Amino acid sequence: MEYNVEDVSPVKKKINVQAPADEVHAALSAATAMYGKDVEMKGFRKGKVPSSVVEGRFKKKIYTEATNDLINVHINQIMSEMQFNPLSRIDVDADLLERGKDFNYSISFEVAPVFELPPYKGIGIEEEEVQVNTDEVDLVINRIQNNMAELVIIEEERPPKDNEVVVIDFEAFEDGKSIEGVKADNFQMTLGEGAALPDFEELIKELKPGETGTREITLPDDFINSALAGKTVQMQVTLHSIKEKKLPEVDEELAQKAGGFDSVEKLKQVIENSYKSTRKELHKSSAQKKALDDLKTRVDFELPDSLVQGRIQQKITALQNQLEKKGKRLESIGKTREELAEEFRPHAEDMVKSQLFLLAVAKTEGLTVSEDEMDAYIQKQAQAGGQEPAQLKKFYQDNNLMFALQDTLLADKAMEFIYEHAEIKMVPPQTGDSTVQSAQA
């Protein structure tokens, strides 16, 4: 086998491969032998069917497998010899093998750009100090109160109001027939939070416990069920009860239930420490990003389009998932996928440039990621998402995501390396820093 490397661009390689006829013959013979050992045909003992007969019977499968096997052998040899590390899938432009003929084909893939790194050790980084006030701690206490609130039925015979919890049955009808999938019994919801259609909530607010009401409601154009999007249906609602939240007192009992603390002061101290730790990480991350953004302005290189496209698709998928959780479709935002792709491109390009810069630092410094570190990351992600670590790892493996995960962890290590070797200067929080809002997030 012979090959020559063609530089299509600074980040794309094309390799033209020439395999002689005798190599083709060997590949076809090996594939035929593999099929032949298990073939059973009348007049022949198992495994003794002539190779010409086997090849004639399974020609398409044999030639396809032999072609793929030979190409894979070549790819492994070329990557090893040239020390290439493809960033994208390897595209193959090849026909099937032909017995007695040389086999010529090409492969192409993208690689990381080569560029000169600017000085990144000992750079100055400004990081905001963490400041906490009592308002921020009180916001967390208030959330704990709400989470532990007792729902008490309101005995007064009146319609419900915003911020009250209602228990309802509802069902939608079209032309007098019940609509499948738009029905629920003993459904509990809080009014005024924007989780339901305004007309639907208005219907509920017209009822007293035990009453049933109906109203025509037009479903939004971005309704999750596209068959019902934009349609006007007859909604029937029965209100069973109205409940209000009874907040517990901020006392030792609350502290004990919140985490086994023996006093409110101890609870507040733990909340403050946790807040400081979280904000410290946020400020550190922000400082790292500013430093990396500055370093990136000092280099210029072509970006592999496959990585950019991958980032764009990730953002579109994330947006789609967010909308679906709200019962909406991607089309509801009034933009095509192509328009979204162009909108997301600048951010995707910035993310790819950051990753490639950090991977270059990691390579220069000899940083590595062990299999144990990858497993630990997967386990942490699995726990956060309520999944089995083994299943999540299999998902990464089945979808060829292990190398991408490795690069992500490697880039994180490189950023930590830059930070650890930087001159950190702590500065007061910026004016207008909304720490209270951050605590609520």
* 311-320: average pLDDT: 93
Asked if 61 and 35 touch (Cβ cutoff 8 Å), the reply is yes
pLDDT tens digits for 211-255?
Answer: 999 999 998 877 777 778 888 999 999 999 999 989 999 999 999
Is the distance from CB of 245 to CB of 150 less than 8 angstroms? yes
383 pLDDT band, cuts 50/70/90, is very high
CA 262/CA 362 separation, integer angstroms = 47
> For residue 233, what are the β-bridge partners?
217
Instruction: Please compute the mean of the pLDDT values over residues 189-217 and round it to a whole number.
Output: 93
Q: How confident is the model at residue 45 (pLDDT cuts 50, 70, 90)?
A: low
Q: Taking 50 as the threshold, does the pLDDT of residue 256 lie above it?
A: yes
361 vs 299: CA distance, rounded Å: 13
Domain 261-440, CATH among 1.20.120, 1.10.3120, 2.40.160, 1.10.287? 1.10.3120
Please determine, for residue 194, whether its predicted confidence score (pLDDT) is greater than 90.
no
Q: What does the pLDDT average to over 308-329?
A: 89
**pLDDT tens digits along 143-185:** 999 889 999 999 999 999 999 999 999 999 998 899 988 899 9
Mean local confidence (pLDDT), 296-302: 96
| Calpha distance 144→267 (Å, rounded) | 11
Burial of 326 (0-12, 13-18, 19+ CB in 10 A): exposed
Domain extents for the chain?
A: 2-110, 150-246, 261-440
Tell me the β-bridge partners of 166: 189, 242
Band of pLDDT at residue 85, cut at 50, 70 and 90: confident
Higher per-residue pLDDT: 384 or 52:
384
pLDDT at 20: 97
Look at residues 307, 300, 292 and name the one whose alpha carbon lies nearest to residue 358: 292
* CATH code reported for the domain at 150-246: 3.10.50.40
Q: Which residues contact 12 (CB under 8 A, 6 or more apart)?
A: 108, 109, 110, 111, 304
Taking domain 2-110, whether its CATH number is 3.40.630.10 is answered by no
Whose tokens are 């491109």? That residue is: 345
pLDDT, tens only, 108-117 = 999 999 999 9
Q: Which pLDDT does position 328 carry in this prediction?
A: 80
Given this chain, do its domains 2-110 and 261-440 carry the same CATH topology? no
Across the strands, what pairs with 340? none
